[in-house]
Structure 1
Amino acid sequence: MGYRIVVAGATGNVGREMLNILDERQFPADEVVALASRKSLGTEVSFGDTTLKTLDLDTFDFTGYDIAFFAVGSDATKKYAPIAAKAGCVVIDNSSLYRYDPDVPLVVPEVNPEAVDGYAKKNIIANPNCSTAQMVVALKPLHDRAKIKRVVVSTYQSVSGSGTAAIDELWDQTKAIYNPTDSKPPKVYPKQIAFNVIPHIDVFLDSGDTKEEWKMVAETKKIVDPSIKVTATCVRVPVFVGHSESINIEFEDFLDEDEARDILREAPGCMVIDKREDGGYVTPVECVGDFATFISRIRQDSTIDNGLNMWVVSDNLRKGAALNAVQIAETLGNRVLKKG
């Protein structure tokens, strides 16, 4: 007997990817329902060889369903997630709404699978920010060996993190470079994204950090260890899919780069591609469609006593969102629900 599954926001980038991954990983589902807002009602989406017609999120009855994947943004989640949770359906939420709620576990299954056990307080589990998810997958096995004191990270985040409209904006602006008569003013981003980089993701806070940068700090502390100090600079780059990160780590104890490489090779979710030659590293174009978090350019930082640098790349629509959500459901099933 399998699960009865709901995907809310099934017509969006992340919702469609959730359906793809549920099928690819052969998640034990007896029934999968696709939900959307009224404006997308009736839109058809694919689930393996099956075509699903979206139903209305606003009127859907979650009673009798086991797990609901939410990919609808914070406003809609705030309205509908408590309804699903009250009906007995465990919500796995991709928005930022519940990530910092002490009664809601924030889970990356390779890092803190035991945290799913706390789902019952609100019947909700939070999925972390895309940039945080791939980083902590790489940090945790190293932290277990040498204990991380401080992380300095710069991100290079693809436009798919902003949704379909951002993908279209990059495409339109790129074409307009060669045909200026087709140029349009930026709408999704405050400045041109084509052939440019923008050091601004989410809103600015009083500290001068953006909220995206703050998320990486707060979520790393909640998922891995509250004692880790994190400082981040998050940058939007003209890449369609795939986030990249340059990470500098300071440890309490010395960790040799060769040992770090060996640890990461054995770590769940990690794939080390690290050759000191032309092309001996992974770029975002190469990670698209893959489940792994790729790690390259592992090397000692000689400016501090116990430092390492590394380059981390992952498909943000997968590990940064949809894949992690499905992995949470798998972990929940194995640890708690015991079904399928």
Structure 2
Amino acid sequence: MGEKPGYHVAVVGATGAVGERIIELLHETDMPLASVKLLASARSAGKKVSFKGETIEIEEAVPESFKGIDIALFSAGGSISKQLAPEAVKRGAVVVDNTSAYRMDENVPLVVPEVNANDLKKHQGIIANPNCSTIQMVAALKPIQDAFGMSRIIVSTYQAVSGSGATACTELENQSESYLQGTDMQADILPVKSDKKHYPIAFNALPQIDVFGENDYTFEEMKMVNETKKIMHAPELKVAATCVRLPFFRSHAESVYVEVEKEGLNAADIREILEKAPGVTVQDNPAEQDYPTPLSAEGRKEVFVGRIRKDLDESKGFHLWIVSDNLLKGAAWNTVQIAEQLAANHLLS
């Protein structure tokens, strides 16, 4: 019998929160799959995962793992991507990397398929998946930019604890229990495990995601600034971000203010554009208290937009509330979408 037709796919970081969701999405994909190889660290090697009726054993990720692989989906941390992504490319694979390792590399496309899929044609073996907060924002704002121009973005984020990993979620659970029992809360992870101080996240808000840079913006905030300009092909666009961690588990929310370039618009004009935008669902009816929340977005692939309103003082200013599941559209789903686009447009080596 001949080899099963389709693509040979590898998932690097298969046991992580994003890797597990990538595997779930590969169950559903229409992209033809000849094989799926699951890769992780040496300590996870040997574990078994069920996939489409088969049992797949997780293997240690090493350079030789990528022989015969067409698409490698990386979500195992930036240092692993730096080490192994070039090895995968060397062996003929196209890499979709879900870390920050290559996002601002001028030779690497940074892609949200609904926004800038054409950039995939420029790839040289590696495509970067943007930061979760950036993905949902540009998915909602690019259609507005295309229709009316855009000169400024000011965003404040309300980000879920799962963005810091499973141990941060466990810490939130433990701290919540301690607080309700009236005992001291132990804080060892947030806002940043490697930083000097740690604060409780339960019943709290932490205005720090990632470490601070020399300009007193955090790396997370600067990711949103720089990635947005790159994805939207707008180096002159004014962007400022304040990123805040809140005590819920999943889905990020964002309060976004934009200034468009066209005069005379109202909220209905913005709403009409977004109702036609791919991957975006408008949930915006204040009279019925209808708007998206992190809980309502959990487990959904779309980017939800509500609270669309015109600024009271700036004639070209508008406010939006943007919510999306940070582990799906913010990570795993965007990664799989890129793979599907590469296959559909014959952009694999």
TM bucket normalised to smaller: over 0.9
Partner of 1:2: 6
Partner of 2:258: 249
Q: Is the 8 A contact 1:158 1:242 kept in 2?
A: yes
Partner of 1:207: 215
Partner of 2:242: 233
1:299 partnered with 2:309: yes
1:20 partnered with 2:24: yes
Out of 154, 168, 171, the position equivalent to 1:169 is 171
Alignment deviations for residues 281-306 of structure 1 (CA, whole Å, 9 cap, x no partner): 01000111111000000000122120
CA shift, 1:136, in A, is 0.2
Deviates more, 1:1-10 or 1:35-44: 35-44
**Take 2:185 and 2:311, find their aligned partners in 1: how far apart are those partners?**
44
**Would the alpha carbon gap of residues 165 and 67 (structure 1) be closer, same or farther in structure 2, given more than 3 Å must change?**
same
Q: Is the 8 A contact 1:213 1:234 kept in 2?
A: yes
Q: Give the structure-1-normalised TM-score.
A: 0.95
Out of 308, 312, 315, the position equivalent to 2:322 is 312
Partner of 1:127: 129
Out of 304, 313, 336, the position equivalent to 1:326 is 336
Alignment of 1:124-163 (within 5 A): 124-163=126-165
Partner of 1:186: 188
CA shift, 1:197, in A, is 0.6
What value does the CA root-mean-square deviation take over the aligned residues?
Answer: 1.5
**Take 1:71 and 1:165, find their aligned partners in 2: how far apart are those partners?**
17
Partner of 1:286: 296
Partner of 1:142: helix, strand, or coil?
helix
- What fraction of aligned residue pairs are identical, expressed as a percent? 47
One-letter code aligned to 2:339: A
Alignment deviations for residues 1-47 of structure 1 (CA, whole Å, 9 cap, x no partner): 21100000000000001011111233321100110101111223343
Q: Is the 8 A contact 2:157 2:243 kept in 1?
A: yes
One-letter code aligned to 1:119: H
Partner of 2:204: 196
Q: Is the 8 A contact 2:63 2:87 kept in 1?
A: no
Partner of 2:224: 216
Alignment deviations for residues 293-328 of structure 1 (CA, whole Å, 9 cap, x no partner): 000000001221201101000000011101001111
CA shift, 1:176, in A, is 1.2
Partner of 1:35: helix, strand, or coil?
strand
**Take 2:220 and 2:338, find their aligned partners in 1: how far apart are those partners?**
22
Q: Is the 8 A contact 1:11 1:43 kept in 2?
A: no
**Take 2:76 and 2:255, find their aligned partners in 1: how far apart are those partners?**
30
CA shift, 1:52, in A, is 2.5
**Would the alpha carbon gap of residues 91 and 338 (structure 1) be closer, same or farther in structure 2, given more than 3 Å must change?**
closer
One-letter code aligned to 1:172: N
Q: Is the 8 A contact 1:11 1:45 kept in 2?
A: no
One-letter code aligned to 1:186: D
Structure 1: state its 5+ residue gaps.
none
Q: Give the structure-2-normalised TM-score.
A: 0.93
**Take 1:35 and 1:277, find their aligned partners in 2: how far apart are those partners?**
50
**Would the alpha carbon gap of residues 195 and 314 (structure 1) be closer, same or farther in structure 2, given more than 3 Å must change?**
same
Partner of 2:115: 111
Deviates more, 1:17-26 or 1:240-249: 17-26
**Take 1:179 and 1:59, find their aligned partners in 2: how far apart are those partners?**
50
Partner of 2:140: helix, strand, or coil?
helix
* Total equivalences in the alignment: 337
